[in-house]
Amino acid sequence: MHKNILVIDDNLTICLMLKSWLIKKGFTVETASSVVEAKRKVKEQPFDLILSDIRMPDTDGFGFLAWVKKYDSDILVIMMTGYADIESAVESMKSGAVDYISKPIEPEQLFKKIDEAFALQENMLKQSRFPDDFVKFPGEEYSLLYKELDTTAENNRHRLIIGDSGTGKLSVVKYIYEKGIHNSKPLVIVDNEKSSNGSEDKSPLMHKFNEAKGGLLFIRQLAHLDINEQDELLSILTKQKKDDNFVQIIMSSEMHKEELQKHLIPKLYHLIETDCIILPTLEGKKEVIHFLAGHFLQFANSTLNKQIKNIDPVIQERLVDYAWPGNIQEMKNCLIKAALMTEGTTIPASIATDLFENGIRNEDRRLLLNPIQGLRKEYYEKEKIMEALELAKGNKTMAASILNIDRKTLYNKIKLYNVLTNS
């Protein structure tokens, strides 16, 4: 995967030397000669790794490191130091740096440390798998669901997934994709965005279908397809050959069957309605709610560098009693907020009023009841991004998770809408 690196050193010669080495290795590289310039660039681009001198004229490396970890905790930082500052470099690792390297820098040693840093990050992501990956919940209802999903993956079947907002439709699709026979073939998502300039020679649906050859095509909000696209989809579902280029089609909708039938052409509806998976809602499922509370608490600890171990019984009771109209996504956001408000090792009962008010989420209600799936509607994108950043106290990694998008998409939207970030 393409990686972006930022090099920070007040010595321009060192910056240019390191940039030259790293570009030859296939990295995209930016340089900065001061912490002020570095912060500006970090706000503009989603860097994967930063190489920073530990001694800078405007501030020390520790202050900048702390800022980076708060601003975007997914960015890896390797500190560069002279031999006399080894003790400081070791201390920087305790503060969140992934490694350090001594000057004068040898290129092969630098490449080795960078590769090790990315490998370590990848292993940690595989082990934790908290933000977006599919999680198996306890209970008979979910056990039956997993059997259906496994069969769908193994048989490479087309399926319709129906589920209320926040029930995990995208996570289910990722599970089918990873469990299936697609291997390195593409997973392509159709978000049904309508262009303002009308249709082109080739419909968006057919274009996406061709991109997904041999892989999986996920069509979100099925009812949003127009008549022509529905006809194309029907043709794809009925006329595809079962060869190496076969594309598995997974469709989703938040409409119940009766409502969905009103929006689809009859032949398409009758073809897919028997191959339907209905995702459970969260309300009243005590065992699942307790499980998710622990799961999302671990995610918050990992992302926010917290050490929260317990949830006060008062909060536990409110979690179970609440209706969760936004389902899993809403609960995830609730636990993130609770973790942000907690200073010690236990989420306290004192924040119950801030989290719940008469069973209804208060100041975060609009955000939590409308979890963004791919940021499709431009007219409220900026507002939702600002709300997510406020909820995450400026942490870009957490804000992207709340919005259910990747970091690069979040950075692009921040830049597009000129969203001011206070961190």
pLDDT 10s digits, 87-129: 776 777 777 888 889 888 999 999 999 999 988 877 666 544 4
Tell me what pLDDT residue 131 has. 43
Tell me what pLDDT residue 51 has. 96
Cα–Cα distances (Å) from 212 to 216, 222, 227, 379, in that order, read 6, 17, 22, 29
- The mean pLDDT of 22-27, rounded to a whole number, is 94
Q: Which tokens sit at 141?
A: 């209802």
- Beta bridge partner(s), residue 190: 219
* Interstrand relation of 28-32 and 4-8 (parallel, antiparallel or unpaired): parallel
**Contact 300/332 with Cβ under 8 angstroms?**
no
Instruction: Identify which has the larger pLDDT, 23 or 69.
Output: 23
Residue 333 CA to residue 319 CA, distance in Å, equals 12
Stretch (H or E) spanning 78: strand 76-81
Tell me what pLDDT residue 387 has. 79
**Phi, psi dihedral angles at 357 (to 5 degrees):** -145, 105
What is the chain's Cα-based Rg? 24
Residue 10 CA to residue 319 CA, distance in Å, equals 51
Q: Which tokens sit at 177?
A: 């994709």
Tell me what pLDDT residue 256 has. 92
Termini Cα distance of the chain: 28
Instruction: Indicate if the pLDDT at residue 368 is higher than 70.
Output: no
User: Phi/psi zone of residue 267: left (φ > 0), alpha (ψ -120 to 50 degrees), beta?
Assistant: alpha
- The mean pLDDT of 191-213, rounded to a whole number, is 64
Tell me what pLDDT residue 132 has. 44
- List, in order, residues 6 or more apart from 209 with CB less than 8 Å away: 188, 217, 236, 247
- The mean pLDDT of 407-415, rounded to a whole number, is 84
Tell me the pLDDT tens digit for each residue of 70-90.
888 889 999 998 765 667 767
Instruction: Indicate if the pLDDT at residue 326 is higher than 90.
Output: no
Tell me the pLDDT tens digit for each residue of 386-396.
878 887 778 88
- Classified as helix, coil or strand, 133 is coil
Instruction: Indicate if the pLDDT at residue 324 is higher than 70.
Output: yes
What confidence category does residue 363 fall into, taking pLDDT thresholds of 50, 70 and 90? very low
Residue 371's closest CA among 164, 217, 194, 131? 164
In percent, how much of the chain has pLDDT > 70? 85
Q: Which tokens sit at 397?
A: 């990694």
Residue 16 CA to residue 7 CA, distance in Å, equals 9
Tell me what pLDDT residue 42 has. 92
Instruction: Identify which has the larger pLDDT, 195 or 351.
Output: 351
Exposure class string for 74-105: b at 16+ Cβ within 10 A, else e: bbbbbbbbeeebeebbebbeeebbbbbbbeee
Residue 334 CA to residue 185 CA, distance in Å, equals 35
Residue 315 CA to residue 110 CA, distance in Å, equals 48
Whether the bond into 280 is cis, omega within 30 of 0:
no
In percent, how much of the chain has pLDDT > 90? 41
The Cβ of residue 334 has, within 10 Å, a number of other Cβ atoms equal to 24
- The mean pLDDT of 396-416, rounded to a whole number, is 81
What confidence category does residue 374 fall into, taking pLDDT thresholds of 50, 70 and 90? very low
> How does the average pLDDT of the chain come out, rounded?
83
For tokens 């992302």, the residue is: 303
- Beta bridge partner(s), residue 100: 79
Instruction: Identify which has the larger pLDDT, 378 or 308.
Output: 308
What confidence category does residue 1 fall into, taking pLDDT thresholds of 50, 70 and 90? low
Residue 339's closest CA among 368, 310, 297, 371? 297
- The mean pLDDT of 207-214, rounded to a whole number, is 90
Instruction: Indicate if the pLDDT at residue 300 is higher than 70.
Output: yes
The Cβ of residue 159 has, within 10 Å, a number of other Cβ atoms equal to 22
Tell me what pLDDT residue 236 has. 92
- The mean pLDDT of 219-238, rounded to a whole number, is 92
Concatenate the DSSP letters of all residues of 199-226 into one string. Answer: --SS-HHHHHHHHTTTSEEEESSGGGS-
Structural domains in the chain, CATH included, are 4-128 (3.40.50.2300), 140-278 (3.40.50.300), 286-416 (1.10.8.60)
**What pTM was estimated for this model as a whole?**
0.60
**Contact 51/7 with Cβ under 8 angstroms?**
yes
- The mean pLDDT of 335-352, rounded to a whole number, is 89
- The mean pLDDT of 283-310, rounded to a whole number, is 88
Helices (H), ranges, 257-351: 257-261, 266-272, 286-304, 313-321, 327-340
- The mean pLDDT of 204-230, rounded to a whole number, is 91
Residue 22 CA to residue 109 CA, distance in Å, equals 12
Residue 96's closest CA among 71, 69, 118? 69
Exposure class string for 29-50: b at 16+ Cβ within 10 A, else e: bbbbbebeebbeebbebbbbbb
- The mean pLDDT of 273-298, rounded to a whole number, is 92
